[in-house]
Amino acid sequence: MRRNSMKRKIRRFLAVLLSTAMCLSLVACGDEVVITEDNTQNAQVTEVTEQQEPASEVQEEDGSWAVYWYLCGSDLETNGGFATTDLDEMLQVDLPENVNVVIQTGGAAVWQNEYMDPAKIQRWLYNSEGLQLLEEQDTANMGEAQTLYEFLAFANENYPADKVAVTFWNHGGGSVNGAAFDEIYGYVSLDLSEMYQAFDAVWPADTDNPSLELVGFDTCLMATIDVAAVFQNFAKYLVASEEVEPGNGWYYTGWLGALADNSGMNGEDLGIAICNSYYEGCEAVGTQDQTTLSVTNLTKLTPLLDAYETFGQEAFVAATEEPGFFAELGRAAAQTENYGGNTREQGYTNMVDLGHLARQTAWMIPSAQNVSDALDDCIVYRIGGVYRSEATGLSCYYSYNGDIDDFNGYIDMGTGVAFKYLYAYELTGELADGGEEYLESLDIQELPEIVTLADKDWDNAPLDVNDEGISYLSLGEEANDVLAGIGFSLYYVDPDNDQMMLLGTDNDLTADWENGIFYDNFRGVWGALDGHLVYMELSYESDDYNLYSIPILLNGEAYNLQVAYDFTAEEWSIIGASQGLDSSGMASKELRLLEEGDEITTIWQLASYSGDDDFEMYTAEELTVTADTSFGEAPLYDGSYAMVFEMWDAAGNYAYSDAVTFDCADGEIYTSVY
């Protein structure tokens, strides 16, 4: 709807017609939101039925290790055989007698090996005697708490050890959507409350003396403060990735081999081995540029949770005192490293790096430094690629898209209460049930009304052109208190053939926030793959580099090509291709590197010039990847173009300026404003 509105706007502007004001506003969800001190642990989930008593704890340390591997194969195994690859990596390790790996397999429609049966849940043991099938049963949903509980109870009862690690293998979806998306059962996943319930039924929650040495996620997006808050009740260490993992995932030969060589290691040592071998494995196949993996000492997490809650409380108080707080926070979040995409085409995970957000907001929230200090204390190790240089080990929630349904998921799964009230206020202008008591606890007498784009008359805001031919938008000082960001959308227009083409979005503007004036810095070039212009979206902006996402067909399948622009080197690079989020919130685990011979079809967003139809994806040009394939900038084709300044606020409202139109001919630009 939003893009169709922009299309109509450009058409009207190009025709020099008057238009009525239009500003999209947040549509609130009708579901009632209730915030409690511990939503994650108290959320209603299917009750776990305990079928057996867990084994008593090992009384004397004997140096033994057990890894309980919850291997939900999903489409990763069906389509790519990635689980089979990791099982093969495990089989390369000769384990000593005091190390057992207990595995449950399921959740995939097809297994790319002759051992696993997709029609059954199977339990396996890998030890010094090799791989053995222990038992099998009718298929069950790996995305349900009961299935997880039964595996954990079985492993704990039959294969206890001095030190135990529980690892998950599958897709991940961050704090809101969890992990273990079962392909057979419609990609239902385990959310954090279900994980808590299953673990608690086997090892009663105890932050002072957790039963497990380590919990690990060989999945995407699960190194979050909310995940850490759940598992501090059960384990000493957490190993997980803030970012989407590439398809190669953890390198099982590496870290299991390290454990086999030194079974006396603790959870920290094992976590470091997992991180190092993972990064080495990524380097071996060229997927390291956007990797993250961290080891969190969960026994030191409580000070971080306390600092995070205070951080949220101070932010809430500031929001009630400073009219422009949410706009400033939104601009800080835009400059904060975020994970999983967060663009229209890729979908929104709404996960940002916690430490980077604290640094970006330290000037406005004093306790941000305490968050950074506490985070440094509990993150004992981390690795990161060149385009994930700001990763500090754990991410947190920030709503980039203003989606209320997604926010309600965070209400249910997130830790603490301060940020839940803060974001409820930001997105709706109101508080959830219990908000009056929360205001009273902070000695806040009333909740001021938030001024958003929906309250401003900035839709259709006029553009001007200065003596140098640069177009600019002048909104005044109030823009600093309202706008969370500003960019532009670029269109190719062809009235004679009744066509409009949306080329994408960028932030190539010069912003004077103090005076609310924004200058076009457009140079007449656009992103191109081997000289073919493409549709592209800005996914992350920083002082060092920008990241962009480009929808393509790769050998006939839909992907998003990830590219980066390095401001220091003034160079573009191709990172790889991924498939973004699906409707369930599941993140693609495969980062697909381009290979010689790959067939790429570029995708353009087209609509008619005269009608009210929405922009739709159309295949455009085909090219074959060669050894010299590269991404760069190319001059715009000769023809007519339109640029619209796009404004947004922290509540998810958008407004659009008048269009600046220009003609390109032989590399020259001729600009006009309507």
Exposure class string for 143-167: b at 16+ Cβ within 10 A, else e: bbbbbbbbbbbbbbebbbbbbbbbb
Pick the CATH number of 71-301 from 3.40.50, 2.30.130, 2.60.40, 1.20.950: 3.40.50
344: exposed, middle or buried (Cβ count in 10 Å: 0-12, 13-18, 19+): middle
pLDDT in tens, 296-305: 999 999 999 9
- pLDDT band of residue 24 (cuts 50, 70, 90) is very low
Written as one string, the DSSP assignment of 41-105 is: HHS--PPP---SPPPPPPSS--S-EEEEEEEE-HHHHHHH-HHHHHHHHHHTS---TTEEEEEEE
Q: Report which of 548, 526, 561, 546 is spatially closest to residue 634, judged by C-alpha positions.
A: 526
What are the φ and ψ backbone dihedral angles of 101, each rounded to 5 degrees? Answer: -115, 115
Query: Is the pLDDT at 364 greater than 80, yes or no?
Result: yes
- Dihedral over alpha carbons 523, 577, 216, 258 (to 10 degrees): -110
Q: If DSSP codes are grouped into helix, strand and coil, which group holds residue 564?
A: strand
Determine contact, residues 561/550, Cβ cutoff 8 Å.
yes
Alpha-carbon span 421 to 37, nearest angstrom: 12
- Higher confidence at residue 37 or residue 292? 292
Mean pLDDT over all residues of the chain?
89
- What is the pLDDT, as a whole number, of residue 131? 97
Task: List the domain boundaries for the chain.
Answer: 1-30+453-524+639-674, 71-301, 303-441, 527-604+619-635
% of the chain with per-residue pLDDT over 70: 88
Amino acid found at 297: N
Q: Report which of 475, 485, 450 is spatially closest to residue 324, judged by C-alpha positions.
A: 450
- What is the pLDDT, as a whole number, of residue 435? 83
Determine contact, residues 212/152, Cβ cutoff 8 Å.
no
Greatest Cα-to-Cα distance within the chain, rounded to the nearest angstrom: 83
Query: Is the pLDDT at 20 greater than 60, yes or no?
Result: no
* Cα of 614 vs its chain's centroid, Å: 27
Alpha-carbon span 494 to 663, nearest angstrom: 11
- pLDDT band of residue 11 (cuts 50, 70, 90) is very low
Place of tokens 């419609």: 186
Q: How far is CA 596 from CA 461, 564, 575, 629, in A?
A: 47, 20, 15, 9
Task: For residue 108, give every residue at least 6 positions away whose Cβ sits within 8 Å of its Cβ, in sequence order, or none.
Answer: 72, 73, 74, 75, 76, 77, 78, 83, 116, 118, 183, 184
- What is the pLDDT, as a whole number, of residue 586? 65
Query: Is the pLDDT at 47 greater than 60, yes or no?
Result: no
Alpha-carbon span 67 to 204, nearest angstrom: 19
Determine contact, residues 220/173, Cβ cutoff 8 Å.
yes
- What is the pLDDT, as a whole number, of residue 465? 84
- Higher confidence at residue 49 or residue 135? 135
* Cα of 133 vs its chain's centroid, Å: 36
Lowest mean pLDDT across 63-72, 127-136, 296-305, 341-350: 341-350
pLDDT in tens, 105-162: 999 999 999 999 999 999 999 999 999 999 999 999 999 999 999 999 999 999 999 9
Alpha-carbon span 6 to 204, nearest angstrom: 55
Which tokens in the block code for residue 640? 């007519």
Strand 599-607 to strand 499-506: parallel, antiparallel, or no bridges (unpaired)?
Answer: antiparallel
Alpha-carbon span 421 to 444, nearest angstrom: 13
Written as one string, the DSSP assignment of 413-448 is: H-SSSHHHHHHHHHHHSS--BTHHHHHHHTT----P
What are the φ and ψ backbone dihedral angles of 363, each rounded to 5 degrees? Answer: -70, -20
Written as one string, the DSSP assignment of 180-198 is: EEETTTTTEEE-HHHHHHH
What does the pLDDT average to over 172-193?
95
Amino acid found at 433: D
Query: Is the pLDDT at 46 greater than 60, yes or no?
Result: no
Lowest mean pLDDT across 26-40, 582-596, 636-650: 26-40
Q: If DSSP codes are grouped into helix, strand and coil, which group holds residue 472?
A: strand
Helix, strand, coil in percent for the chain, rounding step 5: 30, 30, 40
Strand partners of residue 573? 564
Query: Is the pLDDT at 674 greater than 60, yes or no?
Result: no
Q: If DSSP codes are grouped into helix, strand and coil, which group holds residue 238?
A: strand
Determine contact, residues 294/240, Cβ cutoff 8 Å.
yes
CA angle centred on 162, ends 156 and 168, rounded to 5°: 50
Q: How far is CA 232 from CA 204, 208, 302, 401, in A?
A: 12, 9, 9, 30
% of the chain with per-residue pLDDT over 90: 74
Determine the straight-line distance between the first and last CA of the chain, rounded to whole angstroms: 23
